[in-house]
Amino acid sequence: MSGVRQNGIAAGRISPAALSENFSDAYPPFSAHEALVAADRCYFCYDAPCITACPTEIDIPLFIRQIQAGNPEGAAKTILKQNILGGMCARVCPTETLCEEACVREAAEGQPVDIGALQRFATDTVMDKGDHPFTRAEPTGKIVAVIGAGPAGLACAHRLAMHGHNVVVVDARKKPGGLNEYGIASYKTVNDFAQAEVEWLLKIGGIRIETGSELGKDYTLGEIREDYDAVFLGMGLSGVNDLGLEGADERVDDAVDFIATLRQTKDLAALPIGRRVVVIGGGMTAVDAAVQSKLLGAEDVTIVYRRGQERMSASEVEQDHATTSGVRIKCHAMPRRAVAGGVEFEYTEDGPDGLRGTGETFVLEADQVFRAIGQTYEGWHGKSVLELERGKIRVDLEGRTSLSGVWAGGDCAFGGEDLTVTAVAEGRDAAESINRALMG
pLDDT in tens, 132-143: 999 999 999 999
Give the residue among 153, 180, 173 at the shortest CA–CA distance from 87.
180
> What pLDDT does residue 6 have?
52
> What pLDDT does residue 238 have?
72
- Across the strands, what pairs with 145? 168, 231
Domains contained in the chain, CATH given: 32-129 (1.10.1060.10), 143-238+377-438 (3.50.50.60), 241-374 (3.50.50.60)
DSSP 87: H
pLDDT one-digit tens code per residue, 279-294: 999 999 999 999 999 9
Tell me the average pLDDT across 6-15: 85
Residue ranges of E strands in 148-262: 166-171, 207-211, 230-233, 239-240, 252-254
Mean of the per-residue pLDDT values of the chain: 92
- Chain-centroid distance of CA 295 in Å reads 20
pLDDT one-digit tens code per residue, 384-413: 588 888 878 999 999 999 999 999 999 999
Tell me the average pLDDT across 360-370: 94
DSSP 413: B
> What pLDDT does residue 1 have?
33
Q: Collapsing DSSP states into helix, strand and coil, what is residue 43?
A: coil
Question: How far is the C-alpha of 15 from the C-alpha of 271, rounded, in Å?
Answer: 12
Q: What are phi and psi of 184, to 5 degrees?
A: -120, 145
Tell me the average pLDDT across 217-243: 88
Tell me the average pLDDT across 124-148: 96
User: What percentage of the chain reaches a pLDDT higher than 90?
Assistant: 84
Euclidean distance between the first and the last CA atom of the chain, given in angstroms as a whole number: 65
- b (16+ CB within 10 A) / e for 193-225: bbeebbebbbebebbebeeeebbeeeeebeebb
> What pLDDT does residue 418 have?
81
Q: Are 282 and 312 contacting, i.e. CB atoms less than 8 angstroms apart?
A: yes
> What pLDDT does residue 416 have?
74
User: Does the pLDDT of residue 382 top 70, yes or no?
Assistant: no
Question: Which of 59-68, 167-176, 214-223 is predicted with the least confidence, judged by mean pLDDT?
Answer: 214-223
Q: Collapsing DSSP states into helix, strand and coil, what is residue 371?
A: strand
pLDDT one-digit tens code per residue, 326-343: 999 999 999 998 888 899
The region, left, alpha or beta by phi > 0 then psi within -120 to 50, assigned to residue 93 is beta
Give the residue among 201, 180, 178 at the shortest CA–CA distance from 189.
180
Question: How far is the C-alpha of 407 from the C-alpha of 395, rounded, in Å?
Answer: 7
Question: How far is the C-alpha of 370 from the C-alpha of 387, rounded, in Å?
Answer: 32
* Rg, C-alpha atoms of the chain: 22
Question: How far is the C-alpha of 205 from the C-alpha of 183, rounded, in Å?
Answer: 27
Give the residue among 60, 76, 54, 59 at the shortest CA–CA distance from 115.
60
> What pLDDT does residue 5 have?
41
Question: Which of 78-92, 107-121, 285-299, 335-349 is predicted with the least confidence, judged by mean pLDDT?
Answer: 335-349
User: Does the pLDDT of residue 4 top 50, yes or no?
Assistant: no
> What pLDDT does residue 378 have?
60
User: Does the pLDDT of residue 251 top 80, yes or no?
Assistant: no
User: Does the pLDDT of residue 202 top 80, yes or no?
Assistant: yes
pTM of the model: 0.93
Give the residue among 230, 220, 251 at the shortest CA–CA distance from 167.
230
Which sign does the torsion angle of CA 436, 437, 438, 440 carry?
positive
Q: Are 337 and 343 contacting, i.e. CB atoms less than 8 angstroms apart?
A: yes
User: Does the pLDDT of residue 348 top 90, yes or no?
Assistant: yes
> What pLDDT does residue 375 have?
72
Tell me the average pLDDT across 295-307: 97
